[in-house]
Amino acid sequence: MHKYTRILVWIVFFFMISATAQARSLQVVTTTSDLASIVESIGGSKVSVRNLVKGNRDPHFVEVRPSMVTKVRDADLFVIVGMDLDIWARSLLEAARNPNVRPGGVGYLDTSTRIARLEVPEVEVDPSMGHLHVWGNPHYWLDPLNAERIAEEAAGTLSKLSPEDAAYFESNLAAFREVLKKKMEEWRSLLGPFRGCRLATYHRSWPYFLSRFGLESAGELEPKPGVPPTPAHLQEIVRSVPEREIRLILTEVFYDQNSAKFVSEKTGIPAITVANSVGGTAEAKDYVSMIDAIVKSVAEALKKEAAHA
Amino acid sequence: MSALFRGFTIALFTVFLFCAQGLAANAASDDWGGQLAELKNEVKSLRALVESQQEEIASLKARSGGIEPAAPGLLLPPRSGSPSLWGARSSELPDISAVGNVIGKTGNDRDESDLENLVMQEAELAFQGYLYPGVRADIIGAYDRENGTYEAELEEAYISFLETPLSNLSVRAGKELLDVGKLNTQHPHHWNFVDRPAVLKSYFGEHGLTGQGANFSYLVPLPFFLQIDCGVWDNDASSHTHEGTILGFSEEMYTSRFWTSFEISEVQELELGISGVKGYGAHASEHTDRLNVGILDITYRHLGKSYERLLLQSEFFFLEREIPDDTLTRFGFYSFAGWRWNKSWDAGVRYDFYESPYPGNFEESFVSGILTYSLSETTKIRLQYRRNVDDDNDAVFLQVVFGLGPHAHPLE
């Protein structure tokens, strides 16, 4: 019995230590790695950020694990992409018993609320049209100007949660904006020469990115959103390359690479794979370096393609 | 006439004057190339200015919640309102969903009904939603095919208080699949295989262990996941089964579960559960029939790249049954190993073993191979081959599971 009491005391002690350790910084949990990176840029040393989905996995489909429950229970702030992308987090929030981070709570942040949404369905959608989101295309984080929106939202919410650090968050936000502004110039000049170029992508993850940099979509390898490419659809793409004027095929890291390879081999159009979330590739260490990597590989591939043509 | 002519002359003269002035200026500078470069630069800087202003306008519009006319093609105005609460569904209606489970069987395993048939085994209808902040209700009914006819049954119906005045404690009340072990709480359409593992069927009945009562669930405030569940229940008379090797519980039951989980790394997680049911066997109304079942469950997940996932799951059942003149101790388990290698495909193997909870030394073991193709998260096509190792008979199952509408289950 004595032995058990001692073990119990140790457990309580351990818990108290971990509780005081947590008190030092705001605990932030985000669904995706992109949100984690942006919130980290704003929260700096005042926050400890963890994300639930790794950047090399599909954020649409996530198996909720018990360890996620503990993270959300201990969170002061829970940040989601919203627009039904991370709808899987709902059962997680119910299991976590932390009303502060549920919709409507002070520590709940859906960063999509002030985004200018693209591809919002005008008609009623159902699964016969593939995996469509009623609120529009949810891949808005791939537009760097939307990252600024996310950062502003994060700064606002963090300031509410920790008013004494508001100035710190505000200055981090200004710094983040400055970095983005500088980088935007660089990215624009890299992609500028390819204005109007048409790209085929695996999934419809790219409208925000493409429209920001003046590129155009020439369709997807998926016949419908979320439906894996069929041989007939790929043949159709191969056949219609001249009329679609496809210059490049873009695939996200977690999708099957063979479809892009097939079209590329049949047509000679280059195919590249890029991260669409932080951590998706080795270069995509944080938000800015991810966009950097995407822009550079797209620009490089288009340049090569132009030289070849 | 003359006034018009005079006006015309004046206009012509003015134009001439301007041109002359321009020509003179050009002649004076005598530097066309420089002028052009200057103009080019000016146009360039103006373009940059326009672009940056457009960007600013767009960002201001976005900030004020307006529309940003940036994308060509499918741009449609965003809906009014905010999506910050999940799903764009009416708040008046609960989430309504239906799940269908179509099973075809063939082979020479005579313990299976509907052999050589393809039947709608079960159609489930669910109503789920919030009643109040932190309070939700789930009602799940099912039409289940049994011996060639359909029986309507209330599978689960409960109200959940996600928070209570005691922090970390939540309470459920109503009828539910009892929270013991891993598989019992899951509905068959959620499983990685077609059939109920033999040990669960034998010890808990063909529809799993359900009860009427209340469950208290406490998420222990520790840095790792530890949840303790305790429940007090009365079993539904309707779910009694008395056939062959199947026993099941009756009357009042007490359940408890300790469920813990460790995140070994970012991609590995190990779950452990210890649970127990204490109560009476299905024959308690006829003779002494005290029944206790203890379960140890282990689940290991390893997430690879993209969609890859390795799942190892085992549940070990320890049964103790007190009947007149005897106390039976029995054991059973199943082990499943599954590998998903892309978004659509999933394969697994399962081994089942159990000792019959009746007097005598009857035991059975099965080996299964399972292949699953997923169209979506809720719609799957599955093929399973199962061999009864002791009886040398085989069964092949073809299953189509489909889900309509928003359907949710609590963390399993």
Is 60 exceeded by the pLDDT of residue B216?
yes
Q: What is the mean pLDDT of chain B?
A: 84
* Exposure letters B13-29 (e unless 16+ CB within 10 A, then b): eeeeeeeeeeeeeeeee
CA dist list (Å): B47 to A36, A157, A214? 35, 36, 15
Of the pLDDT bands very low, low, confident and very high (cuts 50, 70, 90), residue B49 is confident
Judged by average pLDDT, the poorest of A63-72, B75-84, B166-175, B254-263 is B75-84
User: What backbone phi and psi angles, to 5 degrees, belong to A194?
Assistant: -110, 20
Of the pLDDT bands very low, low, confident and very high (cuts 50, 70, 90), residue B243 is low
Q: Tokens 């009694």 sit at which residue? A: B240
In B, residues 125-144, which contact A (CB 8 Å cutoff)?
133-134, 136
pLDDT value of residue B29: 47
Residue by residue, what is the 3-state secondary structure of chain A? CHHHHHHHHHHHHHHHHHHHHHHHCEEEEECCHHHHHHHHHHHHHHEEEEECCCCCCCCCCCCCCHHHHHHHHCCCEEEECCCCCCCCHHHHHHHHCCHHHCCCCCCEEECCCCCCCCCCCCCCCCHHHCCCCCCCCCCHHHCHHHHHHHHHHHHHHHHHHCHHHHHHHHHHHHHHHHHHHHHHHHHHHHHHHHCCCEEEECCCCCHHHHHHCCCEEEEECCCCCCCCCCHHHHHHHHHCHHHHCEEEEEEECCCCCHHHHHHHHHHCCCEEEECCCCCCCCCCCCHHHHHHHHHHHHHHHHHHHHHHC
Is 70 exceeded by the pLDDT of residue B266?
yes
Partners of B86 on chain A (C-beta within 8 Å) are 82, 84, 87, 90, 103
Q: For residues B43 and B79, which has the higher predicted lDDT (pLDDT)?
A: B43
Please tell me the pTM assigned to this model: 0.82
Instruction: Please name the residues in contact with B44: beta carbons below 8 A apart, sequence gap of 6 or more.
Output: none
Strand partners, B138: B128, B158
Partners of A92 on chain B (C-beta within 8 Å) are 411
Instruction: Please name the residues in contact with A237: beta carbons below 8 A apart, sequence gap of 6 or more.
Output: A200, A219, A221, A244, A246, A263
% of chain B beyond a pLDDT of 90: 57
Q: pLDDT tens digits, residue range A136-160?
A: 999 999 999 999 999 999 999 999 9
CA distance A189 to A183: 10
Q: pLDDT tens digits, residue range A152-182?
A: 999 999 999 999 999 999 999 999 999 999 9
B170–chain A Cβ distance below 8 A for any pair: yes
The answer to whether A63 and B309 are in contact (CB under 8 A) is: yes
Partners of A83 on chain B (C-beta within 8 Å) are 83
With H, G, I as helix, E, B as strand and everything else as coil, classify residue B49. helix
Q: A226 and B376: CB-CB below 8 Å?
A: yes
CA distance A258 to A256: 6
Which amino acid belongs to residue B149?
T
B378–chain A Cβ distance below 8 A for any pair: no
Q: Looking at the partner chain, which of B83, B219, B305 has a beta carbon nearest the beta carbon of A73?
A: B219
What residue spans of B136-212 are helical by DSSP H?
Answer: 198-204
A219: closest chain B residue by CA: B73
Of the pLDDT bands very low, low, confident and very high (cuts 50, 70, 90), residue B28 is very low
Q: pLDDT tens digits, residue range A10-60?
A: 766 666 555 555 556 999 999 999 999 999 999 999 999 999 999 989 888
Which amino acid belongs to residue A80?
I
Is 90 exceeded by the pLDDT of residue B314?
yes
Q: pLDDT tens digits, residue range A200-235?
A: 999 999 999 999 999 999 999 999 998 999 999 999
B307–chain A Cβ distance below 8 A for any pair: yes
B410–chain A Cβ distance below 8 A for any pair: yes
Segment (H or E) for B151:
strand B149-161
Is 60 exceeded by the pLDDT of residue B1?
no
Q: What is the mean pLDDT of residues B30-37?
A: 71
Picking from B96, B90, B164, the residue whose alpha carbon sits closest to that of residue B133 is B164
pLDDT value of residue B35: 76
Which of A29, A73, A81, A117 to probe the B interface (max B CBs under 10 A)?
Answer: A117
Partners of B78 on chain A (C-beta within 8 Å) are 116-117, 120, 135-136
Instruction: Please name the residues in contact with A242: beta carbons below 8 A apart, sequence gap of 6 or more.
Output: none
Q: Looking at the partner chain, which of A87, A115, A216 has a beta carbon nearest the beta carbon of B62?
A: A115
Q: For residues A202 and B51, which has the higher predicted lDDT (pLDDT)?
A: A202
Q: B263 and A67: CB-CB below 8 Å?
A: yes
Instruction: Please name the residues in contact with B50: beta carbons below 8 A apart, sequence gap of 6 or more.
Output: none
pLDDT value of residue A118: 93
Of the pLDDT bands very low, low, confident and very high (cuts 50, 70, 90), residue B78 is very low
pLDDT value of residue A16: 56
pLDDT value of residue B3: 57
B61: closest chain A residue by CA: A116
Strands A47-51, A26-30: parallel, antiparallel or unpaired by DSSP? parallel
CA dist list (Å): B118 to B103, B105, B145, B337? 6, 7, 12, 27
CA distance B280 to B295: 17
Half-sphere exposure of B54 (CA within 13 A, CB side): 10
Strands A47-51, A77-80: parallel, antiparallel or unpaired by DSSP? unpaired
Per-range mean pLDDT, top range of A185-199, B14-28, B105-119 = A185-199
For B76-114, give the DSSP string: -PPPSS-TTSSS---SSSPEEEEEEEEEEEEES-TTSSS
Of the pLDDT bands very low, low, confident and very high (cuts 50, 70, 90), residue B4 is low
Instruction: Please name the residues in contact with B337: beta carbons below 8 A apart, sequence gap of 6 or more.
Output: B310, B311, B312, B313, B348, B349, B350
Q: pLDDT tens digits, residue range B356-392?
A: 999 888 999 999 999 999 998 889 999 999 999 988 8
Q: What is the mean pLDDT of residues B54-75?
A: 52
pLDDT value of residue B237: 56
Which amino acid belongs to residue A20?
T
* Exposure letters B227-250 (e unless 16+ CB within 10 A, then b): bebebebebeeebbeeeebbbbbb
Strands B169-177, B149-161: parallel, antiparallel or unpaired by DSSP? antiparallel
Q: Looking at the partner chain, which of B63, B225, B344 has a beta carbon nearest the beta carbon of A70?
A: B225
B408–chain A Cβ distance below 8 A for any pair: yes
CA distance B76 to A118: 7
With H, G, I as helix, E, B as strand and everything else as coil, classify residue B288. coil
Give me A120's structure tokens.
Answer: 């919002």
